[in-house]
């Protein structure tokens, strides 16, 4: 993880006196953003996790950082389990703590990281929930005249399904990065990695309608705004607003309450696999750093497995 290395054991390196861990929070977050190149949303999640840990740390009997041991940290994991958090959430908290303690070692605050001795909880592999192509079509047509900006909402839904982009990538999409005539857009994903995503005719038509009839009105209050999708005040739409747009329209077409913006991303990937897309190409389209993340969609698409079995099995 860290680009820097711990000083060798035979150096004249001196471990500094441990201080209250709270004073290291901001430097740690700056380190993650500046040196590790983590995205702002990821850094924000680490801030939340470490803040919760520090609140619990201060509620315990006085224990200098240099005396924190495996038993002490196990107590925090027990505290998280008592809150009945999901195993995935507990695992994420543990990763955050490990990164924080490794940072303290790198900075000379601690001589070693006892957090590395903790084992992560075993996680079940949950298959992502997806919508059928028919239900996706209903969702894309759900925005209506009762909405304040139905063309914008329809364009957002169409873009998310056409590209498989994350919600943060959609709200941060600049106007000049969308090439409707050529049928593609450039988005920036995790780790500030840029990739090109394709736009289907439905998405192109939806965005064209939004740009022609609604966006000019939205830009009157803030003509300099460069984001593609804008809110009522003419500023870049927030992730929460997109979340609400998806939830509202999903409820209209009778979708489960569990449907979220990421459901459209899962649906995009699953339908691509069902259509015969190569997994390496899908990895590039989704912006996954590791192909193992993409491989989950090979387990979701049972119809493709069945077709392969029927085609190649002697008794198929």
Query: Annotated catalytic, 79?
Result: no
Query: Annotated catalytic, 265?
Result: yes
How many CA atoms within 13 Å lie on the side-chain side of 19?
9
Query: Annotated catalytic, 297?
Result: yes
- Exactly one of 6, 47, 195, 288 is catalytic; name it: 288
Query: Annotated catalytic, 190?
Result: yes
- Exactly one of 76, 103, 161, 297 is catalytic; name it: 297
Q: Rounded CA gap, 187 and 174, in Å?
A: 8
- Exactly one of 79, 129, 186, 190 is catalytic; name it: 190
Query: Annotated catalytic, 247?
Result: no
- Exactly one of 215, 265, 266, 271 is catalytic; name it: 265
- List C-alpha distances in Å: 71 to 12, 103, 114: 31, 21, 10
Query: Annotated catalytic, 288?
Result: yes
- Exactly one of 166, 186, 213, 239 is catalytic; name it: 166
- Exactly one of 129, 195, 247, 262 is catalytic; name it: 262
Known catalytic residues are 166, 190, 262, 265, 288, 297
């Amino acid at each position: 993880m860290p680009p820097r290395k711990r000083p060798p054991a035979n150096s004249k390196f001196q471990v500094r006196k441990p201080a209250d861990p709270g004073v290291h929070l901001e430097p740690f977050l700056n380190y993650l953003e500046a040196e590790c190149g983590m995205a702002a949303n990821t850094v924000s999640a680490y801030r939340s996790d470490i803040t919760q840990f520090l609140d619990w740390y201060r509620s315990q009997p006085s224990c200098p950082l240099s005396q924190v041991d495996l038993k002490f940290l196990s107590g925090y994991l027990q505290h998280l389990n008592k809150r009945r958090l999901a195993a995935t959430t507990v695992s994420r908290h543990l990763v955050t703590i490990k990164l924080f303690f490794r940072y303290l070692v790198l900075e000379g605050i601690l001589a070693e990281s006892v957090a590395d001795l903790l084992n992560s909880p075993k996680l079940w592999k949950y298959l992502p929930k997806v919508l059928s192509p028919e239900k996706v079509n209903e969702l894309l047509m759900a925005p209506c005249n009762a909405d304040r900006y139905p063309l914008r909402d329809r364009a957002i839904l169409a873009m998310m399904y056409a590209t498989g982009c994350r919600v943060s990538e959609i709200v941060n999409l600049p106007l000049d990065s969308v090439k409707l005539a050529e049928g593609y857009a450039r988005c920036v994903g995790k780790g500030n990695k840029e990739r090109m995503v394709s736009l289907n005719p439905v998405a192109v038509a939806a965005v064209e309608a939004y740009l022609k009839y609604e966006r000019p009105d939205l830009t009157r209050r803030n003509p300099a705004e460069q984001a593609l999708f804008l809110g009522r005040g003419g500023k870049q739409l927030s992730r929460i607003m997109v979340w609400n747009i998806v939830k509202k329209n999903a409820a209209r077409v009778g979708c489960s309450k569990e449907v979220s913006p990421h459901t459209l991303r899962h649906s995009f990937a699953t339908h691509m696999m069902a259509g015969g897309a190569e997994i390496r190409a899908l990895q590039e389209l989704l912006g996954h750093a590791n192909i193992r993340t993409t491989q989950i969609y090979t387990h979701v698409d049972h119809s493709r497995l069945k077709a392969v079995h029927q085609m190649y099995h002697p008794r198929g």
